[in-house]
Amino acid sequence: MKIKYLFKGVLHLLIFIFLTATTQIGGIVYVITFLLVSYKVSKYKLKRTFVFITLYFITSFLIVPKVAPLFGRVKIENNKNLEAHNFITKLFNRNYVTPKLQEVLTAVSLKMKIESPTPKVVYLDANFPFFDGFPLLPHLSHNDGKKIDISFIYQTKKGIISNLKPSNSGYGIFVKSLKNEINQTNICKKRGYWQYDFTKYATLGSFNSTLKISEKATKNLMIHILKEDAISKIFIEPHLKNRFNIRNSKIRFHGCGAVRHDDHIHFQVK
């Protein structure tokens, strides 16, 4: 009997850790659910599930956006040319930034719209709503509201710009280096950094695998980002920086300790 209770305790602890690590607030909602629904009531498991889902949605979409500004973060305000790649980003509270970064996103998206109405600025992971230093796994640095990942812009085989992306997560479908370009992935993996391309396992499926990067549109997106004074750094793979022929000291190599950046653009503000 003691082993049974110990197993349940460990299981609940693991669920709490998982929910906290993936959503920041899920663990707390999980604990509150247990306080509200006793195991002594009938069908308590079903009722706990219902209460957890209800509380989580209320907290994520109604309460957190109101509280986050107290911690220097705001929920990204989408517009007609700025949106999250998928609902999971918003559901898991990974769409919070500092007001300064929000201003940059809005400005870049509006400039892109003026240039061409078709491609949208699509963001992937940003930051959690609370506490500097709280890690947004698996990222190393998305912990202060100042960082965000932006998707490349893609086109169909016929060269038509599309707002679709090649993977469901937005990550893991790489624009590989050509024979005459720097292959940073090989360099890093030979140095023992095995994790460098592990995001190839994090696509969550790839239903638009025929899409190809629009180098022209993606380059224009990077140029618009670089024009913003608040920008401090941009991370992208060396071979793409050279291919786009953009010379700017703000474009940096992120280091072998991170993961490859030929499936998205990472940028941050001061």
- Reported as a single tens digit per residue, the pLDDT across 206-241 is 888 789 999 999 999 999 999 999 999 999 999 999
Q: What is the pLDDT of residue 1?
A: 59
Q: What is the pLDDT of residue 14?
A: 96
What is the CB neighbour count within 10 angstroms for residue 184? 21
Dihedrals phi, psi of 154, to nearest 5 degrees: -115, 165
Burial of 212 (0-12, 13-18, 19+ CB in 10 A): middle
Q: What is the pLDDT of residue 88?
A: 94
How far apart CA 186 and CA 12 sit, in angstroms, is 41
- Predicted TM-score (pTM) of this structure: 0.91
Whether the bond between 166 and the residue before it is cis, its omega within 30 degrees of 0, is no
What is the percentage of the chain residues whose pLDDT exceeds 90?
Answer: 83
Q: Which of 101, 121, 105, 123 is nearest to 113 (CA)?
A: 121
User: Do 261 and 237 contact (CB within 8 A), yes or no?
Assistant: yes
Structure tokens at 134: 């709280």
Determine the Cα angle at 167 with ends 166 and 173, to 5°: 75
pLDDT at 4 over 80: no
Using one digit for the tens of pLDDT, what is the confidence trace for 80-130?
899 999 999 999 999 999 999 999 999 999 999 888 888 899 999 999 999
Q: What is the pLDDT of residue 42?
A: 85
